[in-house]
Structure 1
Amino acid sequence: MLQPEQFAGLATRLDNIAPFHVMELAKMAADLERQGRHIIHMGIGEPDFTAPQIVIDAASRAMADGRLQYTSATGLPELRQAISGYYRDRYRVDVAPSRIVVTAGASAALLLACAALVEKGAELLMSDPCYPCNRHFVAAFDGVAKMIASGPEHRFQLSADMVRDNWSSTVRGVLLASPSNPTGTSIENAELRRIVETVRERGGFTIVDEIYNGLRHDAEPFSALSLGDDVIVINSFSKYFNMTGWRLGWLVVPEQLVASIEKLAQNLFICASSVAQHAGLACFAPEALAIYEERKDEFRRRRDYIVPELQRLGFRVPVMPDGAFYVYADCSALSDDADRFTREMLEQAGVVMVPGLDFGPSTTRTHVRISYATSMENLREAVARLEKFLSGRS
């Protein structure tokens, strides 16, 4: 069989896109489960909750009524209006529906933003650690993700000073995530404002990934959209709205970019799933929003349980995560190789965590990402297994 490296037609940009190592661990876990092992998954960032019944019913009605045709490339007008209302009610910011583009998940939103803004050789400043796919979207359009080591003293996030010190003639903008995957930490509002102003002064663009913003625990609701109409924001129905497999998200862009983004969306996607869009409308019903807030409270309860337990077991958590459902923990007191450590943990304890290998060079060997998007029962069992595993290694 012809191997990929033997295929002469492969684009050289593939050299800049690394494998997603978390999926390798997921395959290892699946193999163990087929052998009859019980595995506790604290690796992939997927809510254990599914869409509420009101959302499922909306999808069923759309299918029963035959509302399955293509929509506009920018999405159902009523869904764009509902998202606009969500920003008004939750974040106290007015966003014209015309600036909202409904997409096939946040991944499609990032792809469209990068397709419109990233040219060959253009650099985007990003934190290290960060979600690997974000930097790979930049590489897919022949841009360069310029990663800046951002330690716990900066909440694992970029600062305005970092942006200022690393700006050059080849830098075109910044790509931020608040709250972040893998760290679960947010950029403080005042610092985010300073970053936006710093980028604006240099004629660059700011993209903010807010897909976990609905799961921000320790602050009043805030969106980067309040910092100016030139800020580009990406969001998703996957995390807060518990619709990972529905592949539905949105992109908010300045008015002058809408026509260009629409042209790209028409050619690359035609539109997001019509069924998912009709279901997404139900997410903004008061009944659904009440359910989401209850689930958010449950995620916070899980965080408040797992962080002290991890610290008791010897993990270092220098920054309390304030959003999403991740803990980015320093495991260097337990192992000198996070990748080997997570493989041993999976094989011997049946617990999946993700090594820092995926998230950037500064924390490759020292950190693991722990997802607490699983039940309290599983979290308690995981702690018991980890305690036994770690005591056996000492």
Structure 2
Amino acid sequence: MNPVLASRLANIAPFHVMELAKMAAELERQGRSIIHMGIGEPDFTAPPPVVEAASRAMADGRLQYTSAVGIPALREEIAAHYQRVYGLQIAPSRIIVTAGASAALLLACAALVDKGAEVLMPDPSYPCNRHFVAAFDGVARMIPSGPEQRFQLSDAVVRKQWSETTRGVLLASPSNPTGTSIPHAELAKIVGTVREKGGFTIVDEIYQGLTYDEEPFSALSLGDDVVVINSFSKYFNMTGWRLGWLVVPEYLVPQVEKLAQNLFICASSIAQHAGVACFTPESIAIYEERKAEFKRRRDYIVPALGQLGFQVPVMPDGAFYVYANCSALSDDADRLTIDMLHQAGVVLVPGLDFGPYTAREYIRLSYATSLDNLQEAVARLAKFLGLNPVHSRVC
């Protein structure tokens, strides 16, 4: 007889993105050509200066455990990055290096979420965010947030939905799955309201480096009490290196350090030494070129989706996702994505992962693949839908 499992497992749903990826892998084993636009992983990898820094660290034997909060050189470089890009003075002591943004979110929730504590977030949201809250027996309260709100929470909604059990908000700007950001003025109002209520604000900024249409800003500009998550996976193209960071108020540092010591010991030492090289002028120049390429892909795929019959109600201004309404093509986004995979060889993701509000009407597309692949995917989808070839301008 198997032992009784923890009851919290009932609140953790499977990740359908990964299920589709498994289906796609099986088709590839059968010899099918599959274009992947499901998982949000850049097709770029770490640039040469970063790889060389990792090689030097290994050759020099810098492979031991580090401090649970990260090596000083990396914390200082991250702080300097905030100064250069956002004009913010962030003390390196407030920066905690983590084993990816997932570890950062886990630590933040471990420090701030009590049993039964309610955390507000928009529906749709990245699914793991609500599961991090559930992992600490909190309640992720997802608020339906449509295109008229840019799929984000507003200050008015936060005020209206705040209850006696609400303890904070968990936001993402730019967001996965929508690629939309919260305007600075609106985010300032939300932070002010949460502060007034005595709650916490956690902002996931892992796509902040990939902001295309406006000057990027960090929620850290809104006060030292805002908790910010970031990562080396997206802008810095280091997904498998599992490296991220967390910025917290000074009073939280010893508490989060204590948690990190027990839960993780430290982030990968090799990845940390490599991460220092991400901030050199040579590396930043490469990242900015790649950012421009992501924007070029966005500017191709959004109008192409419109010609295929999808509706994109909000232009994504960041990340590398498009959240598209497919209701003109199907009343079941899940079934549609499975059919597109098997019949067209194109992986897209249904809204099912991101919350019930948009589950049946929306699909998420990741344009973190080459322009050639995007064009081939559009051609395949046009054929699948019985349409003439789609012509969309490539800038």
TM more than 0.5: yes
> What's the CA shift for 1:322?
0.2
Is 1:164 the counterpart of 2:159 in the alignment?
A: yes
Is 1:204 the counterpart of 2:163 in the alignment?
A: no
CA distance in 1, matches of 2:164, 2:268: 40
Aligned with residue 20 of structure 1, among 3, 15, 20: 15
Q: Gaps spanning 5+ residues in structure 2: where? A: 388-395
Aligned with residue 276 of structure 2, among 281, 299, 302: 281
Q: What residue is the counterpart of 1:191 in the other structure?
A: 186
CA distance in 1, matches of 2:366, 2:357: 20
Q: What residue is the counterpart of 1:260 in the other structure?
A: 255
Is 1:347 the counterpart of 2:357 in the alignment?
A: no
Q: What residue is the counterpart of 1:294 in the other structure?
A: 289
Aligned with residue 363 of structure 1, among 358, 363, 366: 358
Aligned with residue 176 of structure 1, among 164, 171, 174: 171
- The amino acid that maps onto 2:386 is S
Is 1:36 the counterpart of 2:31 in the alignment?
A: yes
CA distance in 2, matches of 1:229, 1:330: 38
CA distance in 2, matches of 1:348, 1:314: 18
Q: Gaps spanning 5+ residues in structure 1: where? A: 1-5
> What's the CA shift for 1:8?
2.9
> What's the CA shift for 1:221?
2.0
> What's the CA shift for 1:323?
0.2
CA distance in 2, matches of 1:89, 1:387: 44
Q: What residue is the counterpart of 1:214 in the other structure?
A: 209
> What's the CA shift for 1:7?
3.1
Aligned with residue 55 of structure 2, among 60, 63, 68: 60
SS of 1:213's equivalent?
Answer: coil
CA distance in 1, matches of 2:99, 2:274: 13
Superposition CA RMSD, Å: 0.9
Give the count of matched residue pairs: 388
- The amino acid that maps onto 1:74 is V
CA distance in 2, matches of 1:174, 1:166: 11
CA distance in 2, matches of 1:221, 1:31: 40
Aligned with residue 86 of structure 1, among 81, 87, 104: 81
Once the two structures are superposed, residues 40-70 of structure 1 have per-residue CA deviations (whole angstroms, 9 ceiling, x without a partner) of 0000000000000110000000000000011
CA distance in 2, matches of 1:71, 1:286: 26
CA distance in 2, matches of 1:320, 1:52: 29
Aligned with residue 71 of structure 1, among 66, 70, 73: 66
- The amino acid that maps onto 1:90 is V
- The amino acid that maps onto 1:137 is F
| TM-score in terms of structure 2 length | 0.97
SS of 2:120's equivalent?
Answer: strand
Aligned with residue 98 of structure 2, among 94, 103, 115: 103
| TM-score in terms of structure 1 length | 0.98
SS of 2:209's equivalent?
Answer: helix
Q: What residue is the counterpart of 1:334 in the other structure?
A: 329
